[in-house]
Amino acid sequence: MSGCGAEKTSDDPPTIGFLAQNNSRDFSREMSDGFRAGAEMAGGVRTELTGPDTHDGLKQVELLHDLATRAKGGIGVSAVAPELVAEPMAQVVGQGIPVMAVAGGQVAPGSEVKFMIENDGFDLGRTLADATADRLPPDAGGKIVIGSNSPAMPALDQRVLGMRSRLLERLPKLQVIGPLDTGRDATTNLATWRRVADANPDALALLGAGDVDAVNLAAVHAEKNGKWLAASFSIDPKALQGVKEGHLFATISAEHFLKGAVAGWMLAQHAKSGRKLPEGWFVAPGLLVQQSNVDEIIRRQSGEATRLAAARPRIDALTADPLKYLRPLDQAR
């Protein structure tokens, strides 16, 4: 209804909401855009998106309480710090509002949240390690340096663990260094990767765990005409351009738009028709981007309409039988 002072009626569409990690970073905006698109696909709901301007867990708590006054149909939360927001999430659940976790790597104890949509970060790390090992001789004995722009963030920590374990499994003579804290701030991150490259000119590869790492590894590889391999996790336009130009041999997309879209679709269906939400860890797919498919992904990422067109059949497939993609929540990694 319009803001004319009329009271809400039972015919009004329910409101669902999404609390993003931030409103400034590419991955977080992707998730928010996806949530809105998925909700619009389902139809019959209003959607409200919010989030702090930067990574700010305390601000997320404040925004969650505010969002819960309006988004009675359900809320998706992408937590900066799952432990910090656990009690506030439990309070919202206690009000009878469905809450699901979307990314963040884990659901903290005490949150009362029973459903999370997230990648298997460990498996994605292994995927990037395999792509790296495929480019090196099986008896390679040099060093590989791993950096993370957000150490102690569960999703990125699992990527690092997956990379380390798989690299050493595939290439047992390797020396794997890190993870080094490369810094979340873009300027700090760039300076860190420059220092790492200067200190390790003989490295076989420099690998990042996060989105800022991807952008700046591409920049440093180009700047220094690096002979080492470089790769990370992001489909920021600069990272995709880095793959196209050969400065990143690969980047992995955590498919944040798709995760957000599945969350929006599921919450909308629940809010308007009472369709039961699953319980457990819904394992969302990732995507390895290389020279062979980077042009396709650049086209896909050119606008929300093209992203939704590419995502729509995957949303349909993932939501047709969610049980196929569920694992116990306590296995989330």
Partners of 118 in the beta sheet? 283
Angle at 23 between CA 113 and CA 306, to 5 degrees: 95
Length of the chain: 333
CA dist., res. 216 & res. 268, Å (int): 37
**Domains 15-120+255-285+303-328 and 121-253 belong to one CATH topology:** yes
pLDDT number for residue 309: 94
DSSP string of 6-58?
A: PPP-TTSPPEEEEE-S-SSSHHHHHHHHHHHHHHHHH-S-EEEEE--SSS-HH
pLDDT number for residue 3: 31
- Residues in the chain where the model's pLDDT stays below 50: 1-10
- For 193-232, the pLDDT digits (tens) are 999 999 999 999 999 999 999 999 999 999 999 999 999 9
Q: Domain coordinates of the chain in residue numbers? A: 15-120+255-285+303-328, 121-253
Looking at the domain 121-253, which fold is it?
Rossmann fold (3.40.50)
Write down the pTM of the prediction: 0.90
- For 131-163, the pLDDT digits (tens) are 999 999 999 999 999 999 988 888 899 999 999
pLDDT number for residue 230: 98
Partners of 232 in the beta sheet? 251
Partners of 252 in the beta sheet? 288
pLDDT number for residue 154: 86
Backbone φ, ψ for residue 326 (5° rounding): -95, 140
pLDDT number for residue 102: 96
Name the strand (E) or helix (H) holding 288. Answer: strand 287-289
- Which CATH architecture best describes the domain 15-120+255-285+303-328? 3-Layer(aba) Sandwich (3.40)
Peptide bond preceding 137 in cis form (omega within 30 of 0): no
Name the strand (E) or helix (H) holding 99. Answer: strand 99-102
